[in-house]
């Protein structure tokens, strides 16, 4: 399965009083990874929204924190499509400290394909291959 790595540097504003990256930033980093994975495959969220009226609504988030990231650490967010069907897609993530190759966190986000009215909608066929739907 395709995997894409996005590299980021932990900013001072992303850390707490203990100098550790604040836990909610891992969810933001997952979003950055997800967006960059899509972009690397030639799909932009805003195009799906503008052209097709398809929104990827977050239905579920899971993150398992394993080791802390700290200010100025370079991290890599490896993102993959873990599963998809006509109604939803699940992305998987691993966040690593680049220099130490240490696994910091792993997680998943599940998204429902919805229309502008936020009601579930089937994904248009032109996006099936991108999400691995119907591909053997």
CA angle 113, 116, 119 (to 5 degrees): 55
Catalytic residue at 16? yes
Kindly write down the DSSP assignment for every residue of 57-92, as one continuous string.
EEEEEEEEE-S--BTT-EEEEEEEEEEE-SSEEEEE
The H or E element containing residue 31 is helix 24-40
| Distance separating alpha carbons of residues 68 and 105, to the nearest angstrom | 8
Give the integer Cα–Cα distance in Å for 60 and 109. 6
Give me the catalytic one of 16, 47, 73, 117.
16
**What token pair was written down for 133?**
């739907």
Indicate which residues carry an active-site annotation.
Answer: 16
């Amino acid at each position: 399965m395709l995997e894409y790595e996005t590299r980021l540097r932990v900013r001072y504003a992303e850390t707490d009083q203990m100098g550790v990256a604040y836990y909610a930033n891992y969810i933001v980093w997952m979003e950055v990874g997800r967006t960059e994975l899509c972009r690397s495959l030639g799909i932009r969220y805003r195009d799906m929204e503008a052209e097709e009226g398809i929104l990827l609504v977050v239905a579920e988030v899971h993150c398992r924190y394993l080791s802390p990231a700290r200010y100025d650490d370079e991290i890599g967010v490896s993102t993959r499509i873990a599963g998809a069907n006509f109604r939803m897609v699940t992305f998987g993530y691993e966040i690593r400290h680049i220099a130490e190759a240490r696994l910091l966190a792993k997680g998943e986000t599940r998204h429902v394909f919805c229309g502008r009215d936020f009601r579930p909608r089937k994904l248009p066929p032109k996006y099936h291959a991108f999400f691995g739907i119907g591909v053997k």
